[in-house]
Amino acid sequence: MRDTKRVATCLGFGPRFLHSTGQAYKGGPNSGVFLQITCDDAVELPVPGQKYTFGVVKAAQARGDFQVLAERGRRALRVHLQEVESGLATLTAAVETARSA
């Protein structure tokens, strides 16, 4: 994206506790475009002493980040993949199809 469109680009991996995407970009000018890609965990790891898993925590943060961006009128799209490799292949094919249309 950076090289093709010659625009500033930021890539981040989550979850993050401080300065998550929704928090970092909820203010300032409405000039960003956000693509949030989430996926199911291959293995659900329990949070020690809790009834939920780390996957539940990560999904909640991703939904919260996206909600903040949407509430602020940011241009944002969320894509959820059930499996990483095949999901990314499908997403890549869809982007290539849209780009050549």
Residue 87 confidence (pLDDT): 95
Mean pLDDT of 30-51: 92
Q: Side-chain half-sphere of 21: how many Cα atoms within 13 Å?
A: 27
The CA distance from 21 to 36, in Å, is: 9
> Above 70 in pLDDT, residue 19?
no
What pTM value is reported for the model?
0.82
Q: Which amino acid is at 57?
A: V
The CA distance from 62 to 8, in Å, is: 22
Q: How many domains does the chain have?
A: 1
For the stretch 62-71, pLDDT in tens is 898 899 999 9
**Enclosing domain of residue 53:** 2-100
From the CB of residue 63, how many other CB atoms can be counted at a distance below 10 Å? 14
Mean pLDDT of 51-63: 91
Which of the pair, 14 or 59, is modelled with greater confidence?
59
